[in-house]
Structure 1
Amino acid sequence: MAGAFKGFGQKAIPFLKALDFHQSREWFQENRALYESDLHEPFCDLVETLSERFLAAGLGLRGDRKKSLFRINRDVRFSKDKRPYNQHLSAILSPDGTKMEQGVFFVYIGVDRCFAGVAWWQPGPELLQAMRKAITAKPAVFRALVAALKKNRLEIDTEGCLKRAPRGFEDVTDADLAQAIRNRHFAVRHNFDPATIHTPALVDDLVDFTIRARPLLDWGRAIQGKAG
């Protein structure tokens, strides 16, 4: 580990803005040293510092500087948008340290916004079905989850939910439960000011958010243990 997170460089966001403007491999190579010093290395330190803090808090989430980060290069093979670079950096910390697990922490540092999330994101059909069944079979448990998140100043994101009830759940009449089972994923988000990314205090903010989001992790893990 290179060291504890000390903050992103002051030129982190300006670099991303310039990269998005140029979208040029030549420009990126000319400015790679700035990318490494102000963005990439601090982001690696952030991931590993969060991994240590999450371990200490018993959150069951971990990551490292090699496996957790997404590449700044875009995969343009199947996209009409051929711009070679993202305008953000992002990473996932998960139960096994890979990007393939469910019940994860996600962090995004970008030109457009900076945010973190705790999510069961697009779970496979088996797990998603189990989550929907759990909502209808034990509504009190789900409502207790929603109440716990609300107490912690969080709410489940409804972005991208189905417009109609999924097959087998058409008879659910309670509005809150009907809304919940239309979700394709279960996630909570925390937006933070880009001005706050330059100090170590960002770690405390993200750990606090993840602890507040723990009821969602625990709810999904309990169902995941029964799915299948």
Structure 2
Amino acid sequence: MAGAFQGFGEKAIPFLKALDFHQSREWFQENRDLYQSELHEPFCDLVETLSERFAAAGLGLRGDRKKSLFRINRDVRFSKDKRPYNRHLSAILSPDGTKMEQGVFYVHIGLERCFAGVAWWQPAPELLQAMRKAIVTKPAAFRGMVAALKKGGLALDAEDCLKRAPRSFEDVSEDDLAQAVRNRHFVVRHDIDPATIHTAALVDGLVDFTLRAKPLLDWGRAIQGKTG
């Protein structure tokens, strides 16, 4: 039954560890009930609870238990790694409730780490170009967004940035702007203490993070609105 998120089961992470050890469809089927009760159903409740809280906070992000979660099964068609299952479960809440939009909230519960992010991830070339142009032509707006994130204890992640300036941005000389135009993505992250995933308080922490990340959403949406 759907309901307010009360926490992941105490066996959620142990289940992922056991699944990673076995990596067996037979084992997974034998333990599907445990997966449903400890991980999947609580994750569905988390998505729907966050969707309600995000709506109340005016964040423009939503999801549901059918569309938002990624499958725990790996797509191995084009991978040398043929292990059938992921080491994590994850979901996206977005402006339209699908996984195809930009300017999203992402939450990831896994063996290596548990974290959330607010992201413009791999934006289409037209939007990425517009974001880079906005950085250079309206630096005050960009720096204001960065300062607002910093005030909230957040910073843009430089992971996977280009080593050199992209074409037509070679002459950007100010260090912070030159770094920013090399980004392929615009992302802020929030590490989740795995010990906190078993209570309803997880929701409050994720809502607080997303509110602190709102300057990034607002900045990207303003640019996106001009390219749509």
| Interval of TM-score (by shorter of Structure 1 and Structure 2) | over 0.9
Q: Does 1:219 align with 2:196?
A: no
C-alpha separation in 2, matches of 1:5 and 1:22 = 29
Partner of 1:168: 168
Partner of 2:58: 58
- 1:195-210 alignment, distance < 5 Å: 195-210=195-210
Q: SS at the partner of 1:176?
A: helix
Q: Hey, what does 1:100 align to over in structure 2?
A: 100
Structure 2 counterparts to residues 37-186 of structure 1, below 5 A = 37-186=37-186
Q: Report the AA paired with residue 88 of structure 2.
A: H
In structure 1, C-alpha distance between the alignment counterparts of 2:116 and 2:166, rounded to whole Å: 28
Question: What SS does the aligned partner of 1:142 have?
Answer: helix
Aligned partners of 1:202, 1:121: CA distance in 2, in Å?
A: 24
Percent identity between the aligned chains? Answer: 84
Distance 2:141 2:135 in 1: 8
Query: Residue 136 of structure 2: SS of its match in structure 1?
Result: helix
- Paired residue for 2:5? 5
Q: Runs of 5+ in structure 2 lacking a partner? A: none
Deviation at 1:106, TM superposition (A): 0.1
Query: Tell me, what secondary structure is at the counterpart of 2:197?
Result: helix
Q: Equivalent residues in 2 for 1:5-44 (5 A)? A: 5-44=5-44
- Pairwise CA distance, 1:132: 0.2
Tell me how far 1:218 sits from its aligned partner. Answer: 0.1
Deviation at residue 192 of structure 1 after TM alignment? 1.0
1:175-222 per-position Cα deviation (integer Å, ceiling 9, x unaligned): 000000000010000001111000000000000000000000000000
Q: How many residues align?
A: 228
TM-score by length of 2: 0.99
Query: How big is each residue's C-alpha offset from its partner over 1:56-93, in whole Å with a ceiling of 9 and x where there is no partner?
Result: 00000000000000000000001000000001000000
Instruction: Report the AA paired with residue 118 of structure 1.
Output: V
Q: What secondary structure sits across from 1:155 in the alignment?
A: coil
1:198 alignment partner, SS class: coil
Give runs of ≥4 in structure 1 deviating > 4 Å: none
Give the aligned CA root-mean-square deviation in angstroms.
0.6
Q: Unaligned regions of 5+ residues in structure 1, if any?
A: none
Distance 1:160 1:137 in 2: 24
Q: Distance in 2 between matches of 1:27 and 1:227?
A: 48
